[in-house]
Each structure stands twice: as structure tokens, then as C-alpha cells.
Amino acid sequence: MSPPPAIELKDVWKVFGRRAAEALSAVRSEQIGKDEVLRRYDCVVAVADVSVAIAQGEIFCIMGLSGSGKSTLLRHVNRLVEPTAGEIRIHGEDIGRKSAGALRELRARKIGMVFQHVALFPHRRIWENVAFGLEVRGVPRPRRREVAQETLELVHLSGWGDRYPAELSGGMQQRVGLARALAADPDVLLMDEPFSALDPLIRRQLQDQFLQLASMMKKTTLFITHDLDEAIRLGHRIAVMKDGRFIQTGTAEEIVLTPADSYVAEFVRGVSRLKIVRAHSLMRPLDATEAITLDATARAVDGDADLERMIRIVAESPGPLLVVDADNRPIGVVSETALLRAIHE
């Protein structure tokens, strides 16, 4: 039997307001909209019927504008917010059942969180901030210091352990935030728009660092962002969220090439497709002539090659591209017209 998904959300709803339960049953039975809910029950539907399973080691990006409910949804995973309805499971365990003590254990050991505005404790040194999760668990001081030091090295901030947060730049502070989340070696990382408050140059650097660490550490990550480019860069899968619902879930390619509705389509318009669209989406089966004339060794790409690479090859030497599988057997062909069309549509 395959291992349970690292994070599983089943039919999760969150309604804010005193009459939340009433409002929820009304929404479920009558399908009323959020304006109606506000008017009738003075309640706000933040998360509406979200279900998703995230595999171990996957980086799952939730993307949406402000007010879409993404931050609220994220906080369900460590129960900083209680769902109005639905189940949340981590490694198969229903966290809604956990006692306060077990929940704290979970938060200290299994889940690390990185916040949009960093939230470092200004009255503590950097290493003490990083070691906070360990301190809460009662890990003795020398060991805490050791682990903090190691984790700081991971984010390339070795010499800064004894300083205070105010002495660091925004980007460095967020690296400390990342280190704090990683220090306890959790299985799950929750990241709430961690790089949004930084300026674009630093943001890119931190995204690179994060990718590096993620590939090395293989932690399941739930990543919130409103930046489509960031989601595409970082996420294995992306969910587009609007008004509390997942409008579409899929790989970057799926979302860009086959948007589920006009909202998503509008969202992804203007995104550069060069790194997203892959050969396997564009290829068509070889016809008889091509099977003979095209040489498998020259100008062949594998199914995963992105648009950018294919264009570069074709620019050097025009002609259709052969697509081969892992054993170098031809599986399809991509014409130049197909390439041109892919850039544009």
C-alpha cells in the first residue's frame, strides 16, 4: 500500500462569524454567494470546499489574489485556524482530533512555518530565534546552539548567529525565518508569501536558495503566493484560488495551456511560456516520411524539453524537431509552426 499523502485536505470549509454553522449549511444546501452570506448571516466564507492531497516531497503552490482565502487555508494545516467543516490529515493522522498538547508537539516537531513579515523575535539573537522551536521542546542549550549554527550555514548566514534581527536586511531576516522553520527538521513546511515583502532582486535570490534547499531536503512544502511567476518557478503543482475555492489544480503547464475558466485564463495571460510549455505537449505522431528522413541522433529532444530550448535549436538549424524517449526511440515530432503557435497562444 502506498504511503498516505503528506498533507490531505478533505472538504474543508471555513466561515468567519458568529452564525458560521448556519451560514455554512445555507451555502451547502442553497449554493448562495458570498455577498448573500454576508447580508443574511453577517459571515464571511473564507475557504469553500477545498480538497487536495499533497505527496511527500512535493512543493505545492497556492496562488490567488488577496482575499482569496489562501493564507487562511494555509493556517488550517497547523490548526492556527480551526475549520468550520472538513478534515485535515498529516501523514494520515486527523489533526482535528489532537489534544492541545499533541498539537503543540506537532507544531514543534513536524511542521515549520515561514511568515510573510518574517516575525522574528526582536529581543532575541538570531541563533535564539532559529532555535525557538527546539527551545519550546526543551532541547538543552548546547545542542540548540549547535543545530542553530548548522541551519544557519544552510542558508549561508553562518557568522550572524549572535546578532539581533534589527541588524539584518530584509532578505537576510527572511533567510533566518527559513532557517527557523528548518531547524527542527520538520516533515512539512508552510510558507505564507515568504518573499512577497522583499524587493524583486532579493526575491529571486531567495527563490533560488529555497529551490536548492528543497531539492536537497525533500520536504513537503505548501507555498502561498500571489505571484504567478514565483508559483511557476517553484511549484511542482499549482492551485489557483478564488473566493475560497480551488478553481484549478495542476502543473504549471496544465494551468497555462488549459485554463479551466476565464478567471484562470486572465490570470495566466501574459505569462512567458518559454519555460513552461514542453515538447510532449506540442508533439504529434510521426508520419511515414518523417519516420525515415529524420535522424534520431541529430536535433532530437526529450519530452521534457521546454519551448525555450526547442526554439534555440530550431533557430540554429531550421526544420522539425524529433522527440525521443529515454531509450532514444522516436515518439513524436514538433513542427516549427507548432513552436510559433505555442509562444503566442
Site for other proteins in 181-220 (CB under 8 A): 184, 190
Is 140 near other proteins (CB under 8 A)?
no
Give me the residues paired with residue 191 across strands. 114, 223
- The smaller minimum CB distance to other proteins, of residues 88 and 333, is found at 88
List Cα–Cα distances, 256 to 23, 71, 100, 302, in angstroms.
35, 23, 42, 21
Is 133 near other proteins (CB under 8 A)?
yes
Contact criterion met (CB below 8 Å) for 182 and 213? yes
Nine cell digits for residue 31: 449554493
Identity of the residue numbered 176 = V
Give me the residues paired with residue 147 across strands. none
Q: Which of 13, 60, 127, 132 binds other proteins (CB under 8 A)?
A: 132
Among the residue ranges 84-92, 99-107, 306-314, 325-333, the one whose residues contact other proteins (CB under 8 A) = 99-107
- The smaller minimum CB distance to other proteins, of residues 133 and 332, is found at 133
Sheet hosting strand 330-334, strand order edge to edge: 300-302, 321-324, 330-334
Q: Which of 65, 80, 265, 340 binds other proteins (CB under 8 A)?
A: 80
- Taking alpha carbons only, the member of 184, 170, 177, 81 closest to residue 137 is 184
- The smaller minimum CB distance to other proteins, of residues 70 and 237, is found at 70
Is 165 near other proteins (CB under 8 A)?
yes
Under rule CB under 8 A, how many of the chain's residues touch other proteins? 34
- The smaller minimum CB distance to other proteins, of residues 49 and 185, is found at 185
Contact criterion met (CB below 8 Å) for 22 and 42? no
Contacts with other proteins, residue ranges (CB under 8 A): 78, 80, 103-109, 111-113, 115, 117-124, 132-133, 135-137, 164-166, 170, 173, 180, 184, 190
